[in-house]
Amino acid sequence: MDLQLFEEKIGYRFKDKKLLERALTHSSYANENKLPHDNERLEFLGDSVLGFVTAEYLFEEFKFRQEGALTKLRAAVVCDKSLFKLAEKIALGDFILMGKGEELTGGRNRPSIVSDAFEAVIAAMYLDGGIDVVRPYILSFIKDAVKREANFKDNKSLLQEEIQKQKGNTLVYEEIGEFGPDHEKVFKFVVKLNGKAIGSGEGKSKKEAEQAAAGDALSKM
């Protein structure tokens, strides 16, 4: 395993190389070679670090989206499928130390193994360099992922899908106010289901306010 090449791919030089090696050590390899450590504890920590940085970014980026919508967006961004796609860009699977049996059964291309190793690498970076090192690295790849997921299905579309599960339902968005100076105007909307308000939200544009209202409604379902 060429640790130096992997460091070049992620753009970070580890002070403690053993941390990186542990992050890339699958349990099957550790068991076969009777090693005291694998990457599972690091994966546990990396999952939390990734979740925190992602949540922090979403909190700041989508100021008018409600908790329910932010939770769904974060889950979509940090799921195994998304992490596997990101890990493929740095050929992470090629660097994982794994047992012969695991490798023969396609372990290097198994999303669960590769995504876990990806989280372990994030934890290793955090332990080696701190949050100021790992935060920009995480942001370098989650921003595009967030943009894709946020645009793939917006709150209004998701709410419409929920409402259409029962025939005869009607959704209407109504503007109920606006405030602030012209250059920083904020709009407030309410969304009604069959004439009854089920969510409200604010935004810097009418579209953003409608999305926030839909997100509020979704968070209550």
Q: pTM for the complete prediction? A: 0.70
pLDDT at site 196: 94
**Are 160 and 80 found together in one domain?**
no
pLDDT at site 55: 94
pLDDT at site 216: 86
**Are 138 and 167 found together in one domain?**
no
What is the C-alpha to C-alpha distance for residues 139 and 164, in angstroms, rounded to an integer?
36
Sheet holding 196-203, edge to edge: 171-179, 186-193, 196-203
pLDDT at site 73: 85
Query: Last residue of some domain: 131, 152, 173?
Result: 152
Query: Last residue of some domain: 152, 186, 210?
Result: 152
* Domain at 190, CATH number: 3.30.160.20
Chain-centroid distance of CA 35 in Å reads 32
pLDDT at site 183: 82
pLDDT at site 151: 59
- Structural domain including 47 reads 3-152
Residues annotated as catalytic are: 47, 119
Low-confidence ranges of the chain (pLDDT < 50): none
Query: Last residue of some domain: 124, 152, 180?
Result: 152
- Number of C-alpha atoms within 13 angstroms, CB side, residue 154? 12
Number of structural domains in the chain: 2
pLDDT at site 141: 87
